[in-house]
Amino acid sequence: GGWQNRVDRQASVSVRPDWKRVDEFDLAKFAKNIPAAEQVAPTSEEDLLWCGFLDQYNDQYDRVATRSAVPLKRVENRDFYPVTTTDDPVIEKLAIDGAGNVFATDAILAHLMTSPRSVYPWDIVVQKLPGLLFFDKRDSSQFDYLTVNETANNPPSKSDDDPDGINTPERLSLEATMINQNFTQQILKSSKTRTNFDLPNPFYDPDDNDGMEPASVAYRYRKFDLGDGIQLVARTELHGLVKKKITGGSEDTQYMTAYALNEFDSAKGPGHAPSTASINWRDKIDSQRGAVLATELKNNSFKLAKWTAQSVLAGASQMKIGFVSRAAPKNAYEHTILATQFYRPKDFATQITLSVGGMWGIMRMLIKLFQTQPEGKYVLMRDPNKPILRIYAVPPGTFEEDDDDEEEEEEEKEGGN
């Protein structure tokens, strides 16, 4: 009975008359048609640079359970920097120095690598310069906001049962993104445990920070050799350090990523998903975590695959997932951590049927497709309502006039504060 709930979605960006369609694929099939020889991990991975710092994971969070749940705190003084590829000064320098010929961030790569699972519309900008390819996100896009229940049978939509509108896709997305940021910082110990890397955070300006400091993030710039002369350089992110006791009493330090899943519909009132489709976390998370995760894998298949791909790209040994629920179903501002769990990214990929070779196959296919195109600017777009991926050639100035308007608006906003 999907039809009565069918929502016609708008494209993430409107196609202009001067855009030229270059190609289109069926998103469900295109990954399956990539030759097996292309669906393999890179022949080599190499670290180029480390920037930023990491704090140590606080293992008290391993013991959180429903009875000993911990309120989620708001991190007011930490800045996060979801900077796109061509705005990253480190990538710019690496490109000038000839470190690679394809450049991207882990978030953009992971998005493309797992895109067959996507349901909502999205777009990525590709710039082809002489001998170089850059994958970017559009400045004013929703790209960095987490979706909630995107792949569920009944994804969230505006409804009369939600008069305050706290469960619309947009509001849920904002809520999930804030939860995720807060969670990643709360589970770390104080800065006394901090490990600083070779270079400081490239996006933090100590002179102009309004009392803010960067979040605990290490930017690990890595080069992946994809064969056929493709050298892909990516900025990847790690979120913390885990100390694991190993035999003989010594400690092994591992890199981790951290993400939060969130529950918003614990009350099963009218208009909520049928009781079979989701389970109340407080009842199940301690005794049947596998069942909770299985439901999340169905409802958030794309988001979980993307996090896993990001963790694999960053070379994290551990991926920490938090299970965070609203303190009360109608309160979208206060949350509780009910449980946390470590997963090994490659094992987790297997568990969620995400083929690491298949991820790289998708990137190889897209890179080779752009290698055959003339220099210029392109937009990769998912159709808002059908699983179709389209590629458009667009005029070189596309999206750039938007920036000026925005900067003026930003300045007005800042002036008005």
Phi-psi region of 344 (alpha: psi -120 to 50; beta: other; left: phi over 0): beta
Crossing angle of the two packed helices 356-371 and 301-313, in degrees rounded to 10: 80
- 345 φ, ψ to 5°? -50, -45
Contact 294, 232 (CB under 8 A): no
Averaged over successive runs of 10 residues, the pLDDT of the chain (417 residues) comes to: 63 96 93 92 97 97 96 93 97 98 98 97 97 95 95 86 85 97 96 93 88 94 97 98 83 95 71 56 94 95 98 98 95 96 97 96 96 97 96 95 51 46
Looking at residue 278, its pLDDT comes to 63
Q: Rounded distance, CA 241 to CA 249, Å? A: 18
Contact 62, 211 (CB under 8 A): no
Contact 82, 107 (CB under 8 A): yes
Q: Concatenated DSSP letters for 115-151? A: GGG--S--EEEEEEETTEEEEE--TTSSTTSPPSSTT
pLDDT tens digit sequence for 76-113: 899 999 999 999 999 999 999 999 999 999 999 999 99
pTM: 0.92
Looking at residue 140, its pLDDT comes to 83
